[in-house]
Chain A
Amino acid sequence: MAEGLKVENLSKNFGALEVVKNLSFSIPSEERRVVIIGPNGAGKTTLFNLISGELPPSSGSVLLFGYDVTKMPCYRRTHLGLARTFQITDLFPYFTLMENLLLALQAHDPCKYQVLHPLTRYGHLYEKAEGLLREMKLWEKKDFLIGELSHGETRLVEILLGIAGSPKILLLDEPMAGLTCSESIWLGGIIQNLLKDVTLIIIEHDMSIAFDLAERMIVLHQGEIVADGKPEDIRSNQRCREIYLGTCYE
């Protein structure tokens, strides 16, 4: 199996607080839907920050497609084929939807350092943006500022910016955060259907969505992996039920 993401003995301390403790796992690039669950403070977002390069690990290493990227800055990991979205919507509020998307697209185009030619000259970027927006049924709102979109739409734009660079691995940090139940189902459907050839690693709190999406589940608790396996195994794993699903000790 081809190498996708591999994490070896990864640890992260904030002072005396150990947030991620000696984690090791690997996700081959053939795997499509990996869901990471765990109670608050389990270290899920910190793990994402370590993988994407926003935080340097205290020890251990991160390998991406066979390359050791532990010391590689965030933007270069993006060019290897890793993208991420954020738990708290993190877009460009003074740009329109179209301009947000163009910003994400031109990051992967040789024109990005062009100083003297206007952006409008690069028609292929606009075509690609139009394609993505039509696919997501957001084309009518291309000239809206981000603040004029609904919360559900901004969550979708988060994902759009993530997939704009055609990544091989996409980290989705709670894509459904703050959505109503029906919106979650709608966005879950989009995630399920549109990104068939991308390895998605998803942090999710809503159990029903997590079990719907997952082909593999990793359960984190206090910075450690408690369980790692198929959703049905996780569902029946006694330890997981205790710490996560809320069954009391008898």
Chain B
Amino acid sequence: MKEETTPRWKPIVAATVGAAFVLLVPVLPNYAVTLATSIIIYSIYVSGVNLLTGYTGLVSLGQAMFWGSAAYCVAILTSRGIVTNFYLVAIIGLFTVLALSAFFGVLALRVKRLYFMIVTFALGHVVWCIAMYPMQRITLGYDGIKDIARPHLGLSLSTTSNVGFYYFVLVVAALCFTFLYLVFKSPFGHAIVGIRDNEHRMTALGYNTFLYKYISYLLSAVIAGISGMLFAYFNGYVNPSELHWLWSGDALMMMFIGGIGSFWGPLWGALAYTGLRYWISSYTMYWFGIEGIIFILVVLFFRGGIAGFVMNLERRLSGRRAKG
């Protein structure tokens, strides 16, 4: 966590990329807008996973249950017209996720490392099974729930068009990323990284490490919930695969590809994952296998993921300039 002096060109590049995200979208073809929207939604989801895994050191295979249950909240409430007010739906969805994570967090955080992963995996699978079978009447099982209307925000921004919805997602993402940025810079953020690196010593220093891990777990669940709700509105359709642990695994994969424990890693990861999937699947139906090979290559040769690779490149470039 050594602070490094930021090169002068860095804010310029960041501003350009940011401006591209905002300004380019209306002139892009429709498929590109939907692709960009899903990338941003996924990056929110992965940033929550990154908080839990990259910063707190807890590997969870149960994040999809928060994404999925929030998505189902939206689907169930809006497709049947039970609750039509977007803000009320959002609050109900968030409280559902918060309640689930508050309960499951107590169970899962009783154990550490590998066992934590197994417990989150098991809990996630239980939720998936409950949605599939006992609650089949409500969730419609494998068929999923369709006809989810885009939200009415009550603002001048209309989300019915893909471009409008894209801007809505962009604002939510900006809020989430700003919040996480503050968290990582805060004393709390400093402490969770300490717990990741040496929990034993943190206890001796006087930290209630359980509480820190618990808060981190709740925050990451809420962020997964936010992204899940956005996804339900965006996709207009929710099915049980949103709750499945494979989607939790995908989140870990995106995090690794993007760069574990790096602030912008989730965005890079979601970009690479979605982009590659879109691109490769247009050539071959075996895109799953190719994705796996890419993942293995990243883990073997680019431990820091894309973010780490960019940082190395940056360091080399600025080093060369300093010498020249």
Chain A contacts to B: CB under 8 angstroms: 52, 54, 73-76, 78-79, 83-84, 86, 90-96, 99, 102-104, 106-109, 111-120, 122, 143, 145, 161, 164-165
Count how many pairs of residues, one from A and one from B, have CB atoms less than 8 Å apart in the complex. Answer: 106
A69 to chain B, nearest CB (A): 14
B185 and A119 contact, CB distance less than 8 A: yes
Pick from B186, B205, B208, B211: contact of A103, CB below 8 A. Answer: B205
Q: Cβ of B188 < 8 Å from any Cβ of A?
A: yes
Pick from B1, B179, B182: contact of A95, CB below 8 A. Answer: B1
Complex CA distance for A14 and B228, rounded to whole angstroms: 48
Please name all residues of chain B whose beta carbon is closer than 8 Å to the beta carbon of A145 when the two chains form the complex. Answer: 2
Q: Cβ of B18 < 8 Å from any Cβ of A?
A: no
A116 and B183 contact, CB distance less than 8 A: yes
Write the chain A residue with the least CB distance to B206.
Answer: A78
A107 and B185 contact, CB distance less than 8 A: no
- 8 nearest A-B pairs in the assembled complex, by CB-CB distance: A78-B206, A107-B206, A118-B185, A107-B205, A115-B188, A74-B203, A106-B187, A116-B182
Complex CA distance for A78 and B206, rounded to whole angstroms: 5
A231 to chain B, nearest CB (A): 29
A75 and B208 contact, CB distance less than 8 A: yes
Quick one: given A52-B204, A75-B206, A165-B206, are A111 and B198 in contact (CB under 8 Å)? Answer: no
A114 and B187 contact, CB distance less than 8 A: yes
Known: A73-B203, A103-B202. 4 other contacts (CB 8 A): A78-B205, A102-B190, A115-B189, A145-B2
Q: Cβ of B80 < 8 Å from any Cβ of A?
A: no
B200 and A90 contact, CB distance less than 8 A: yes
A84 and B204 contact, CB distance less than 8 A: yes
Using C-beta atoms within 8 Å of the partner chain, give the interface range for chain B: 20 to 34
Please name all residues of chain A whose beta carbon is closer than 8 Å to the beta carbon of B187 when the two chains form the complex. Answer: 106, 109, 111-114, 117, 119, 122
A115 and B197 contact, CB distance less than 8 A: no
Complex CA distance for A52 and B187, rounded to whole angstroms: 25
Chain B contacts to A: CB under 8 angstroms: 1-3, 179, 182-183, 185-191, 193-194, 197-198, 200-209, 211, 215
Complex CA distance for A84 and B204, rounded to whole angstroms: 7
Complex CA distance for A198 and B187, rounded to whole angstroms: 27
A92 and B197 contact, CB distance less than 8 A: yes
Complex CA distance for A109 and B179, rounded to whole angstroms: 22
A90 and B201 contact, CB distance less than 8 A: yes
Q: What are 11 sample pairs from A and B whose C-beta atoms fall under 8 A apart? A: A74-B204, A75-B207, A75-B209, A86-B204, A104-B205, A113-B188, A114-B188, A115-B183, A115-B188, A116-B186, A119-B185
Write the chain A residue with the least CB distance to B191.
Answer: A112
Please name all residues of chain A whose beta carbon is closer than 8 Å to the beta carbon of B193 when the two chains form the complex. Answer: 94-95
Please name all residues of chain A whose beta carbon is closer than 8 Å to the beta carbon of B215 when the two chains form the complex. Answer: 113, 115
A78 and B197 contact, CB distance less than 8 A: no
Please name all residues of chain A whose beta carbon is closer than 8 Å to the beta carbon of B185 when the two chains form the complex. Answer: 118-120
A107 and B190 contact, CB distance less than 8 A: no
A112 and B188 contact, CB distance less than 8 A: yes
